[in-house]
Amino acid sequence: MSNGFIPISQNIANEISDMIFLQKKYKPNDKLPNEHQLAKELGVSRTTIREAVKILVANGVLTIERGRGTFVTEKPDSQNDPFGISYIEDKKKLVHNWFEMRLVLEPANVRMVVERASDEEIREIIAYEREAAALIASGKPFSEADQRFHAAIAKATHNSVIELMLPAIETAIGDAINTAVYVGAHKRAIENALTNHRNIAHFLEQRDADGAALAMYYHIKRGMTDLDH
């Protein structure tokens, strides 16, 4: 499944995931073929298979048992992406759909944060904003800090359903940043994160629900616009 927006290793992870979730070729606790066999079957290098397996291990779909091989986990559906959203092939369309969902959810989230978060939780959100800004300034990857910033906001809503959605939200953030790189919008994504994360953190610190919601709305809307340019 060739796709211009995502690395070959992610495409292969998608194919292996399809074998498990759609084709039911491998069931929970089943052992996968070895690297050589999978590489031959899928027409890629063993290095690509190794990277794809790492992705699926990180998502809780596969587990590696030293000396025994690679197995489907006992409950692969309990992975961080229970709906298989990250395995949709059209990555640009997927990220755009995620932005639309976040446009509905996250401005409302920051309103709840203003009303419900403790001072310590607000300080944690601000710390993640500063961490991401420092990483950007030093030219280092900032995806994980960006995810933690949004995750801290979701947790500070004190809404258990929103908290359960955290892994999917974090996946969406990572997808947005990675896709921005592949479509040439990375610089705009950096500017967006720097400016609007700072604004969101500022309004949360001031306990200004309207300002925080507007800043979050603009942040996500800017991401959608940059992706389409």
Token reading at 170: 């974090």
Partners of 64 in the β-ladder: 70
Helix, strand, coil content of the chain in percent (nearest 5): 70, 5, 25
pLDDT tens digits, 1-21: 444 445 688 778 878 887 887
Tokens 């720097």 belong to 194
- Angle, vertex CA 156, rays to CA 120 and CA 141, nearest 5: 85
- Give the E-state strand segments of 40-195 in sequence order: 62-65, 69-72
Domains of the chain in start order, with CATH, are 8-78 (1.10.10.10), 90-228 (1.20.120.530)
Q: What is the pLDDT along the chain (229 residues), one digit of tens a residue?
A: 444 445 688 778 878 887 887 678 998 899 999 999 999 999 989 999 999 999 888 878 899 998 999 999 887 654 555 445 555 556 667 777 888 888 999 999 999 999 999 999 999 999 999 999 999 999 887 877 887 898 899 999 999 888 877 766 666 666 666 666 555 567 888 899 899 999 999 999 999 999 999 999 999 999 888 777 6
